[in-house]
Homo-oligomer: A and B are copies of this chain.
Amino acid sequence: MTKIHPTILVVNDDGITAPGIKCLMEAMQELGRVVVVAPDSPQSGMGHAITVGKPLRFDKVDIYEGIEMYSCSGTPVDCVKLAVNKVFKGRKPDLCVSGINHGLNNSINVLYSGTMSAAVEGAIESIPSIGFSLDDYTLQADFSHSIKYVKEIAAQVLKNGLPAGTLLNVNFPATPHIKGIKISRQANAKWAEEFDERMDPHKRPYYWLTGVFQLNDGGEDTDVWALENGYVSVVPVQFDMTAHHAIPLLHSWTFNV
Inter-chain contact A193/B58, CB cutoff 8 Å: no
Q: Please, which residues of chain B bring their CB within 8 A of the CB of A209?
A: 50-52, 56, 74, 78, 81
Does A2 interact with chain B (Cβ within 8 Å)?
no
A72 to B120 CA separation, bound complex (whole angstroms) = 28
How far, in angstroms, from A166 to B198 measured CA to CA in the complex? 35
Closest partner residue, chain B, to A75 (CB atom): B49
A218 interface hit (Cβ, 8 Å): no
How far apart are A184's CB and chain B's nearest CB, in angstroms? 8
Most chain B beta carbons < 10 A, residue from A45, A56, A156, A165: A45
* Residue in contact with A255 in the complex, picked from B112, B153, B247, CB distance below 8 Å: B153
Query: Count of chain A residues with Cβ under 8 Å from any Cβ of B?
Result: 80
A177 at the interface (CB under 8 A from B): no
Name the residue among A194, A239, A243, A250 with the largest chain B CB count within 10 angstroms: A243
User: Is residue A149 contacting chain B, with contact meaning CB distance below 8 A?
Assistant: yes
Indicate if the CB atoms of A50 and B57 lie closer than 8 Å.
no
Q: Does A4 contact B (CB under 8 A)?
A: no
Q: Cβ of A251: which chain B residues have Cβ within 8 Å of it?
A: 183
A56–B245 CA distance with the chains assembled, in angstroms: 37
Name 24 A/B residue pairs within 8 A (Cβ), A-sorted: A45-B50, A45-B52, A47-B48, A47-B50, A48-B111, A52-B209, A56-B207, A56-B209, A58-B195, A77-B112, A81-B209, A86-B195, A108-B124, A111-B239, A152-B256, A152-B257, A153-B255, A156-B253, A156-B255, A181-B255, A186-B241, A234-B250, A236-B242, A236-B244
